Amino acid sequence: MNAIEKKLYKINPVYLSDYEDMIKSHAQFGGGAADTKFTGGKSFSNVYEFYIYAFFIGLYKGLKQELVDDDKTKTFWEMESWKPRELVDYLLVCAIGQSKFDMIKIEKADDQEVVEQVKLLKQIIEQYANGGLKYISEILQEQEDLVDDHAFFIKMLSECVDN
């Protein structure tokens, strides 16, 4: 693993504090055994699972939420701890494809430029994920009962493009 790869997987994306309650309601904080996930009333056994899900929802629906310095945000785990790794790699593929991240430039970049390039990637991940979280949050606010459906998040995933 080269220095850039290390830096990419050290990305520790954030979400807006506004979504914390929703995330807490649906994701197990601090991980937990997968087999207790459902019994705990949580659809996601980790925050990163919810975050990855939200990223793809944002991506599929083309929803980005820009974060500014004044925003109150929360961090959780660095990407190197997210699982499965193949899925995280795919997320990176999508993020690179959608961002201004310059694959050519970074190979010749100095430290400062590398930081800027990695930041571009972090930003796009955060924008889609927070865009997805905003969308989920709005849907749930409209129809709270939906969460009683065991397949709610799967249906949302299916419908987010078809509709």
Site pattern 68..97 for other proteins (x: CB under 8 A): ---------------xx-xx-xx-xxx-xx
Enumerate the β-bridge partners of residue 44.
27
Binding status of residue 33 toward other proteins by CB under 8 A: yes
Size of the site for other proteins (CB under 8 A): 56
Q: Where are the beta strands (DSSP E) in 51-146?
A: 73-75
Binding status of residue 139 toward other proteins by CB under 8 A: no
With contact defined as beta carbons under 8 Å apart, do 64 and 128 qualify?
A: yes
Q: What is d(CA 77, CA 88) in angstroms, rounded to the nearest whole number? A: 13
With contact defined as beta carbons under 8 Å apart, do 133 and 44 qualify?
A: no
Phi-psi sector, 158: left (phi>0), alpha (psi -120 to 50), beta: alpha
Minimum CB distance to other proteins smaller for 8 or for 16: 8
Residues at the interface with other proteins (CB under 8 A): 1-5, 8, 28-30, 32-41, 43-45, 49, 52-53, 56, 59-60, 83-84, 86-87, 89-90, 92-94, 96-98, 103-104, 106-110, 114, 150-151, 153-154, 157-158, 160-161
